[in-house]
Every structure is written in C-alpha cells, then in structure tokens.
Amino acid sequence: MRGLQLRLEGRIVKRAVARRPDMRWPLPPGLAAALTGARIAGFRRRAKYILMRLDSGWSVLIHLGMSGRMLVEPVGRNDITLHEHIELETDDGWRVGFVDPRRFGSVDLIETDREDQHKLLAGLGPEPLDDAFSTPVLDAALAGKKTPIKAALLDQKIVAGLGNIYVCEALFRAGISPLRQAHTIPGARSRRLVPAIKETLTEAIAAGGSSLRDYVQTNGELGYFQHAWKVYGREGLPCPACQSDETCDGVRRIVQSGRSTFYCTRKQR
DNA sequence: CAAGAATCCTGTCAGC
DNA sequence: TGCTGACAGGATTCTT
C-alpha cells in the first residue's frame, strides 16, 4: 500500500484496462470505467486489503491473494505482461499493474463512505498493531475455542491480517505450541503472545516484508524479513532458541488445517 | 454450532 | 530432458 501511495496519491488515472474478470471473485464490470479519469485521493489498509480512494466517492478494494503483486514502473518499461490482469496509467507517466498468476486475488469497488460495510471487511477482527488489539480482547475472542491456536490466529475474525508465516513466527517468539487449544491461551500465555505478534509484524514491515518467491515490493525490490525467520521454512534446522541443546530435535514441520506449521517442540509448549 | 477438508489456479522444485 | 507429485503468502464454501 505504501508503495502505491508513494506514486499514486494525488494523480489522475489517464487509462485503465481490466483484461480478465475471472479472479477469486469476479471483477466488477464497471472497474475500468470507474478508474478512468478519476483522481486518486488516498490509501488505506485494513487487514490484508488495500483500499484506494478515488475522488469520485468510490474506493477500489484490492486483495493480492497468495501470488498477487502490484507493479509500479515508468510508462514504457513494461517489465511484466504475463498474468497482468489489470493495468492503469497515471497523468504523470507511471504504469501500475495488478499481476496475479494464481488469480486468488481480486479487486472490487465500494462506496468510500461504506468501506467497512463491504462483505469482505464487515466481520474482521481488530488490527494487530492497534491498541484495540490487547490481551483482554484476544482472551475474549479465544474463550471457549477448541481449535488449535495456530488456526485461531489465522482466523481473520479473531485478529485481522496475520498469515501463515507470521503466525508461526509469533507463536515461536511467545513459546506457545501451535497445537495448543485456543481456550488455554488466556492468562500468562496471552500476555506473551500479544506482544510477540506486534513485534513480529513491526519488524517484518520495517524489513519490507518476506520475499519467498513472487512477493516483492511495488518497485520490484525484495523484502528481507525471510532472513529473520526463526522457524518458518526451517524444517530440520536447529531451533535458534535451544541452539546446541541435545534435548531439542530442531524445527519440526506439521500440517494443520492444510497449512504448514513450523515450530520447536521443546521451546513451544 | 464449530472444526477440518476441499476448493479455486498457476508456477516451481525435488525426485525419478 | 521430461514426467509426476508435493507444495506455495489466502479465504471461502462444503462436509462432518
């Protein structure tokens, strides 16, 4: 969002093209028309959604899914053409592409004054970096939940914006087993978990995110938080907390609700 | 109702 | 080199 904001805020969309509508959700038929000629007033992020506000009273809601990226480059460079499903051009010579090979991402239109009532935003939990995301708030959301804490943290209704990598990393930092039932978290564990989530995200944002394969910033640069991963993607490697302790088997990989979980069975309980 | 599985789609990589 | 299967940052919808 910040990469888009840098180049697009205040600019006028000179040209917009929507090439294929069959994304995760069908693109709204009026998307290109709504963009063309509009001035981009500003940006906002909610959970994993980017909201681009137009001066027409409409907002463009963007979700990148798993493989989506926004490309921002000078007109004429055209780095990517394959899987570029939406393209726009500004009045000052910049080109923006919405690139998404898997098409798990999508874009929608919503009136700006009704943004939070959009079906995809309406039920979301608190922003993890807001003061509103606190130990008592998390405790209330986890009360009575029998699902593993790993699945609960991926549930956007409980806290909004955490994905698989950052859940694994935050649970490691908090010393909590991903298998532990959610209702057993409130108390001392929750008081470690909430700060662990905030610290993980804050550090990752400062590092420009985690570049695994196709995730890059809007200027094409890689994030570098992947070098700071302590457990994610590190199956079989020594646990950075236990180091040479021979009672630690190192980082283990399991599958929970169809997603990989990485953790240390010694440090995380 | 809650929890877990299946699903959408394409690309990449390991193993044979 | 080419084939096959597993796996990938997500989130909804379908089953149990």
Average pLDDT over residues A31-40: 98
pTM: 0.96
A172 CA from B10 C1′ (Å): 31
Q: Would you place residue A208 in the very low, low, confident or very high pLDDT band (cuts 50, 70, 90)?
A: confident
A257: nt with nearest C1' to CA: B4
Question: Is A213 near strand B, with its CB below 7 A from some atom of it?
Answer: yes
**Amino acid at residue number A75:** V
Residue nearest to nucleotide B4 (CA to C1'): A257
Greatest Cα pair distance in chain A: 65
Q: Would you place residue A32 in the very low, low, confident or very high pLDDT band (cuts 50, 70, 90)?
A: very high
- What's residue A79's pLDDT? 78
Residue nearest to nucleotide B13 (CA to C1'): A213
- How does pLDDT run across A156-200, given as a tens digit for each residue? 999 999 999 999 999 999 999 999 999 999 999 999 999 999 999
- What's residue A214's pLDDT? 61
